Amino acid sequence: MRHEHAVIHHRALDFWSARAAVLIIICLQLLVINDLSFGPRWLAPAIEAVLLVPLSIATAWTQMATQKAIDHEHWYAIGRFRLYIRLTALVLTGVISVMNCGALVFLVRALLEGHAGAGTTLLVDALNIWVTNVIVFALWFWSTDRGGPPTCGLVKRAQADFLFPQMTLPDREIRGWLPGFVDYAFLAFTNATAFSPTDTLPLTQRAKLLMMAEASISLLTIALVAARAVNILA
């Protein structure tokens, strides 16, 4: 199994970690206390679940297909199917991003208009939005980086979007290293807490824009919403 698309089998844990991350986000959205969603509370989780279920089934089918592929036609079919999977995953990530940004906007508006609830509920919802922000940008980083498993064999670009520390090491064992979902989750977490790159550097414009967007949302959530909630508690 030397074909480039075989990465979906060799790095199966990364793909299922990403699917589990979406499931966590759905649970977090259902736990929001204040009315911070577009339409009914169940609308966003329902849309995401409708996309997640076939995406998970398609991922499982592709992983099994890579074990049985024996010729170019099989690999070509897997490649086309992977392209549809990636597009669906990007749409799903985009939906989550819009819903989470909308929740933050509604919460900020409620604060400014004085319609927000108790300080405790504000803290819980602010933490909910912040955690969702970290997870969704981990998905963005993982889905768009040239060096990650989702794009291996699909995106023919010489330059990676992020420079991980392992990429700078001269060791032969690290030469074929690819970042996994946990690496992107750590990148998203450190960027959301430090508001700047730490051990991993953005190399492309889209990577810098993604990190700027995440840091901005995180800063707004922590500095404005959480601070106001603490004042209410005091």
Contacts with 212 (C-beta within 8 Å, 6 or more apart), sequence order: none
Q: What is the DSSP letter of 161?
A: S
Count of domains observed in the chain = 1
d(CA 45, CA 42): 6
Q: How far apart are the first and last CA of the chain?
A: 61
CA atoms within 13 A on the CB side of 199: 11
Bridge partner list, 202: 162
Could you tell me how many helices (H) and strands (E) the chain has, helices first? Answer: 8, 2
For the record, the structure tokens of 81 come out as 């199917």
**H-helix or E-strand containing 58?**
helix 43-68
Cβ distance 69 to 92 under 8 Å? no
Per-residue pLDDT of the chain (234 residues; tens, 9 = 90+): 445 555 565 677 888 899 999 999 999 988 887 777 777 888 889 999 999 999 898 888 887 777 766 667 766 777 777 788 888 889 999 999 999 998 888 888 877 776 666 667 777 888 889 999 999 999 999 988 876 666 665 666 567 888 888 888 777 666 667 788 999 999 999 999 988 888 888 988 999 999 999 999 998 888 777 666 666 655
Give the angle subtended at the CA of 88 by the CAs of 46 and 181, to the nearest 5°: 95
Cα-based distances in Å from 125 to 63, 108, 145: 37, 11, 30
Predicted model pTM: 0.86
Q: Residue 140: which of 196, 208, 201, 53 has the closest Cα?
A: 208
pLDDT reported for residue 170: 76
**H-helix or E-strand containing 110?**
helix 72-113
Cβ distance 86 to 151 under 8 Å? yes
Q: Residue 49's domain spans which residues?
A: 4-233
pLDDT reported for residue 216: 92
d(CA 153, CA 126): 39
What is the Cα 111 distance to its own chain's centre?
27
